Protein backbone atom coordinates (compact mmCIF):
# COMPACT_ATOMS: atom_id res chain seq x y z
CA UNK A 1 0.00 0.00 0.00
CA UNK A 2 1.02 3.60 -0.62
CA UNK A 3 1.59 6.38 1.89
CA UNK A 4 0.30 9.66 0.47
CA UNK A 5 1.49 12.91 2.01
CA UNK A 6 -0.80 15.76 0.94
CA UNK A 7 0.45 19.34 1.07
CA UNK A 8 -1.95 22.27 0.79
CA UNK A 9 -1.46 25.54 -1.05
CA UNK A 10 -1.35 29.14 0.13
CA UNK A 11 -3.98 30.42 2.57
CA UNK A 12 -5.37 26.92 3.06
CA UNK A 13 -4.84 24.41 5.85
CA UNK A 14 -4.87 20.64 5.91
CA UNK A 15 -8.69 20.84 5.87
CA UNK A 16 -8.54 21.43 2.11
CA UNK A 17 -7.86 17.69 1.60
CA UNK A 18 -10.78 16.50 3.74
CA UNK A 19 -12.88 15.44 0.75
CA UNK A 20 -9.99 13.72 -1.03
CA UNK A 21 -8.55 11.54 1.71
CA UNK A 22 -11.56 9.22 2.32
CA UNK A 23 -11.34 7.77 -1.20
CA UNK A 24 -7.65 7.01 -0.74
CA UNK A 25 -8.17 5.53 2.71
CA UNK A 26 -11.02 3.30 1.55
CA UNK A 27 -8.51 1.65 -0.78
CA UNK A 28 -6.31 0.84 2.20
CA UNK A 29 -3.71 3.55 1.71
CA UNK A 30 -2.19 5.68 4.44
CA UNK A 31 -2.86 9.41 4.11
CA UNK A 32 -1.16 12.26 5.95
CA UNK A 33 -2.49 15.75 5.26
CA UNK A 34 0.15 18.11 6.60
CA UNK A 35 -0.53 21.58 7.88
CA UNK A 36 2.19 24.02 6.90
CA UNK A 37 3.30 26.70 9.33
CA UNK A 38 0.94 29.65 9.16
CA UNK A 39 -1.91 27.86 7.43
CA UNK A 40 -5.39 28.92 8.45
CA UNK A 41 -5.63 26.16 11.05
CA UNK A 42 -2.24 26.98 12.53
CA UNK A 43 -1.68 29.72 15.09
CA UNK A 44 1.94 30.54 14.32
CA UNK A 45 3.00 34.14 13.80
CA UNK A 46 3.02 34.96 10.11
CA UNK A 47 6.47 36.55 10.39
CA UNK A 48 7.87 33.05 11.01
CA UNK A 49 6.36 31.71 7.80
CA UNK A 50 8.96 31.18 5.09
CA UNK A 51 9.55 28.76 2.27
CA UNK A 52 12.22 27.13 4.43
CA UNK A 53 9.71 26.59 7.23
CA UNK A 54 7.30 24.97 4.77
CA UNK A 55 9.99 22.67 3.43
CA UNK A 56 11.26 21.77 6.91
CA UNK A 57 7.74 20.77 7.97
CA UNK A 58 7.45 18.29 5.11
CA UNK A 59 11.03 16.97 5.31
CA UNK A 60 10.66 16.36 9.04
CA UNK A 61 7.45 14.40 8.49
CA UNK A 62 9.06 12.27 5.78
CA UNK A 63 12.21 11.61 7.79
CA UNK A 64 10.14 10.06 10.57
CA UNK A 65 9.08 7.28 8.17
CA UNK A 66 10.98 4.17 7.11
CA UNK A 67 9.35 3.97 3.67
CA UNK A 68 8.95 6.02 0.52
CA UNK A 69 5.96 8.30 0.02
CA UNK A 70 3.90 9.75 -2.79
CA UNK A 71 4.16 13.50 -2.19
CA UNK A 72 1.21 15.53 -3.50
CA UNK A 73 1.24 19.33 -3.68
CA UNK A 74 -1.60 21.67 -4.58
CA UNK A 75 -1.01 25.16 -5.98
CA UNK A 76 1.91 26.92 -4.27
CA UNK A 77 2.80 23.64 -2.55
CA UNK A 78 4.25 22.55 -5.88
CA UNK A 79 7.28 24.62 -4.98
CA UNK A 80 7.39 23.05 -1.53
CA UNK A 81 7.35 19.46 -2.77
CA UNK A 82 9.99 20.29 -5.40
CA UNK A 83 12.36 21.64 -2.75
CA UNK A 84 11.61 18.67 -0.49
CA UNK A 85 12.53 16.33 -3.33
CA UNK A 86 15.79 18.21 -3.79
CA UNK A 87 16.63 17.45 -0.15
CA UNK A 88 15.38 13.85 0.21
CA UNK A 89 14.95 12.39 -3.30
CA UNK A 90 15.53 8.81 -2.11
CA UNK A 91 12.51 9.03 0.22
CA UNK A 92 10.00 9.95 -2.50
CA UNK A 93 8.31 7.42 -4.73
CA UNK A 94 6.59 10.04 -6.86
CA UNK A 95 5.73 13.74 -6.93
CA UNK A 96 2.21 14.74 -7.93
CA UNK A 97 1.45 18.35 -8.85
CA UNK A 98 -2.23 19.38 -8.65
CA UNK A 99 -2.72 22.72 -10.45
CA UNK A 100 0.64 23.40 -8.88
CA UNK A 101 3.76 25.45 -9.53
CA UNK A 102 6.35 23.27 -11.25
CA UNK A 103 9.05 25.89 -11.43
CA UNK A 104 12.45 25.91 -13.03
CA UNK A 105 15.66 26.56 -11.13
CA UNK A 106 15.87 30.23 -10.12
CA UNK A 107 12.18 30.97 -10.64
CA UNK A 108 9.63 32.04 -8.00
CA UNK A 109 5.86 31.77 -7.59
CA UNK A 110 5.45 35.54 -7.77
CA UNK A 111 7.42 35.82 -11.00
CA UNK A 112 5.43 32.98 -12.56
CA UNK A 113 2.12 34.61 -11.58
CA UNK A 114 3.27 38.00 -12.88
CA UNK A 115 4.00 36.60 -16.33
CA UNK A 116 0.68 34.73 -16.51
CA UNK A 117 -1.51 36.91 -18.77
CA UNK A 118 -4.60 34.85 -17.94
CA UNK A 119 -4.10 34.68 -14.18
CA UNK A 120 -6.97 36.56 -12.55
CA UNK A 121 -6.21 36.11 -8.83
CA UNK A 122 -2.95 38.03 -8.29
CA UNK A 123 -4.33 41.43 -9.44
CA UNK A 124 -7.09 41.24 -6.82
CA UNK A 125 -4.90 40.44 -3.82
CA UNK A 126 -4.77 42.99 -1.00
CA UNK A 127 -1.28 43.40 0.44
CA UNK A 128 -0.42 44.60 3.93
CA UNK A 129 1.30 47.97 4.27
CA UNK A 130 4.70 46.32 4.66
CA UNK A 131 4.00 43.83 1.84
CA UNK A 132 4.70 40.90 4.20
CA UNK A 133 1.27 39.33 3.76
CA UNK A 134 -1.69 39.30 1.41
CA UNK A 135 -5.34 38.30 1.54
CA UNK A 136 -8.35 38.14 -0.76
CA UNK A 137 -11.96 39.25 -0.45
CA UNK A 138 -14.94 36.90 -0.56
CA UNK A 139 -15.88 37.90 -4.11
CA UNK A 140 -12.37 37.14 -5.30
CA UNK A 141 -12.47 33.68 -3.74
CA UNK A 142 -15.89 33.04 -5.24
CA UNK A 143 -15.20 34.28 -8.76
CA UNK A 144 -11.53 33.39 -9.26
CA UNK A 145 -11.01 30.29 -7.10
CA UNK A 146 -14.33 28.59 -6.32
CA UNK A 147 -16.29 29.31 -9.51
CA UNK A 148 -16.96 25.60 -10.06
CA UNK A 149 -17.33 24.58 -6.39
CA UNK A 150 -20.75 23.81 -4.94
CA UNK A 151 -22.17 26.42 -2.56
CA UNK A 152 -22.17 24.33 0.62
CA UNK A 153 -18.44 23.69 0.25
CA UNK A 154 -17.76 27.35 -0.47
CA UNK A 155 -19.57 28.25 2.74
CA UNK A 156 -17.42 25.76 4.66
CA UNK A 157 -14.18 27.13 3.21
CA UNK A 158 -14.78 30.88 3.35
CA UNK A 159 -14.64 31.27 7.15
CA UNK A 160 -11.25 29.54 7.08
CA UNK A 161 -9.91 31.89 4.41
CA UNK A 162 -11.42 35.33 4.89
CA UNK A 163 -9.22 37.62 6.96
CA UNK A 164 -6.36 35.14 6.77
CA UNK A 165 -3.07 36.72 5.76
CA UNK A 166 -0.74 34.61 3.65
CA UNK A 167 2.95 35.37 4.13
CA UNK A 168 4.49 36.67 0.91
CA UNK A 169 8.04 35.42 1.52
CA UNK A 170 7.27 31.93 0.10
CA UNK A 171 5.93 33.58 -3.07
CA UNK A 172 9.25 35.36 -3.59
CA UNK A 173 11.57 32.50 -2.68
CA UNK A 174 13.78 31.39 -5.57
CA UNK A 175 13.88 27.72 -6.49
CA UNK A 176 17.20 25.93 -6.06
CA UNK A 177 16.80 22.63 -7.91
CA UNK A 178 19.19 20.22 -9.60
CA UNK A 179 18.70 17.66 -12.32
CA UNK A 180 20.68 15.15 -10.29
CA UNK A 181 18.40 15.23 -7.23
CA UNK A 182 14.99 16.79 -7.90
CA UNK A 183 15.18 15.91 -11.58
CA UNK A 184 15.61 12.22 -10.79
CA UNK A 185 12.26 11.85 -8.96
CA UNK A 186 9.25 10.66 -11.03
CA UNK A 187 6.65 13.39 -11.59
CA UNK A 188 2.97 13.52 -12.49
CA UNK A 189 1.13 16.75 -13.28
CA UNK A 190 -2.66 17.11 -12.97
CA UNK A 191 -3.82 20.05 -15.05
CA UNK A 192 -6.97 22.05 -14.30
CA UNK A 193 -8.62 23.13 -17.54
CA UNK A 194 -10.75 26.05 -16.29
CA UNK A 195 -8.31 27.43 -13.72
CA UNK A 196 -8.35 31.21 -13.18
CA UNK A 197 -5.60 31.30 -10.53
CA UNK A 198 -2.91 29.28 -12.32
CA UNK A 199 -4.08 29.45 -15.90
CA UNK A 200 -3.84 26.53 -18.34
CA UNK A 201 -1.36 28.64 -20.31
CA UNK A 202 0.96 28.96 -17.31
CA UNK A 203 0.53 25.27 -16.50
CA UNK A 204 1.57 24.40 -20.05
CA UNK A 205 4.61 26.67 -19.77
CA UNK A 206 5.68 25.05 -16.50
CA UNK A 207 5.39 21.57 -17.97
CA UNK A 208 8.34 22.47 -20.20
CA UNK A 209 10.61 22.98 -17.18
CA UNK A 210 11.18 19.34 -16.26
CA UNK A 211 10.57 15.87 -17.64
CA UNK A 212 7.13 14.76 -16.48
CA UNK A 213 6.22 11.07 -16.58
CA UNK A 214 2.49 11.66 -16.97
CA UNK A 215 0.15 14.61 -17.51
CA UNK A 216 -3.51 14.22 -16.55
CA UNK A 217 -6.32 16.75 -16.77
CA UNK A 218 -9.46 17.64 -14.86
CA UNK A 219 -12.19 19.94 -16.16
CA UNK A 220 -11.86 21.89 -12.94
CA UNK A 221 -11.00 25.28 -11.57
CA UNK A 222 -8.09 25.74 -9.18
CA UNK A 223 -9.64 23.69 -6.38
CA UNK A 224 -10.45 20.16 -7.59
CA UNK A 225 -9.89 19.26 -3.93
CA UNK A 226 -13.32 20.82 -3.36
CA UNK A 227 -15.04 20.71 -6.76
CA UNK A 228 -14.33 17.09 -7.75
CA UNK A 229 -12.40 15.46 -4.89
CA UNK A 230 -13.45 11.89 -5.65
CA UNK A 231 -12.29 12.21 -9.27
CA UNK A 232 -9.03 13.77 -8.13
CA UNK A 233 -8.52 10.92 -5.67
CA UNK A 234 -9.08 8.38 -8.43
CA UNK A 235 -6.33 10.06 -10.46
CA UNK A 236 -4.02 9.92 -7.45
CA UNK A 237 -4.74 6.19 -7.19
128 is catalytic: no
List 16, 40, 75, 82, catalytic entry: 75
Instruction: Return the HEC string of the chain.
Output: CCEEEEECCCCCCHHHHCCCHHHHHHCCCEEEEECCCCCCCCCCCHHHCCHHHHHHHHHHHHHCCCCCEEEEEECCHHHHHHHHHHHCHHHEEEEEEECCCCCCCCCCHHHHHHCCCCCCCHHHCEECCCCCEEECCHHHHHHHHCCCCCHHHHHHHHHHHCCCCEECHHHHCCCCCCCCCHHHCCEEEEEECCCCCCCHHHHHHHCCCCCCCEEEEECCCCCHHHHCHHHHHHHHC
**Residue numbers annotated as active site:** 75
Amino acid sequence: MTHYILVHGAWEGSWSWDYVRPTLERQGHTVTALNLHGGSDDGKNITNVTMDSYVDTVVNAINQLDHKVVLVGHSMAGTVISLVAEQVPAKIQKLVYVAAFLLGNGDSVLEAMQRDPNGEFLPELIFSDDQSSAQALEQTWRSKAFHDVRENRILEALPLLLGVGQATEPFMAKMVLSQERFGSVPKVYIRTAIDKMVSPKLQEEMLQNWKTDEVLELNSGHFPTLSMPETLAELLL
